[in-house]
Amino acid sequence: MLDPRGAYGAGFVGINTGEGTPDVEITIDEPGVYAIGFRYANGEGPVNTENKAAIRTLMVDGKKAGTVVMPQRGVNNWEDWGMSNSVQVELQPGKHVVKLEYLPEDENMNIKVNSALVDRVVVDRVR
């Protein structure tokens, strides 16, 4: 089992082909457009080759919101944490469920390897 240093909080969730993250409930205080991104580690290969980015569909309240890409950050470099791209979503006040799901359209060019560690959802109001 991986035990990377630098994980935020209590730890991380490992995602692989066919696996997504657990549901995460967020609470929004005021209406607006929010950028949702994920802190991740991906040690599946070098940064410039091998096509082993972890790709997932961001689901908000059960609806597709966009695509999240978590590129590899170096060979066996599971302690190098960074941020995925963020997806902008219009949200109303209240509780919302956020999840990364693996769907057929999330297959990368490597086909077999599509994994990462995810340890934090980051939600920022942009307008």
By residue count, the chain amounts to: 127
Closest CA to 102 of 14, 13, 16: 16
Give, for all 127 residues of the chain, the pLDDT tens digit. Answer: 355 677 777 778 899 887 778 899 999 999 999 999 999 999 999 988 889 999 999 999 999 999 999 999 999 999 999 999 999 999 999 999 999 999 999 999 888 899 999 999 999 999 9
pTM: 0.91
Closest CA to 39 of 87, 86, 91, 99: 86
**Structure tokens, 32:** 């607006």
DSSP 117: E
Which class for 90: exposed (0-12), middle (13-18), buried (19 or more C-beta within 10 A)? Answer: exposed
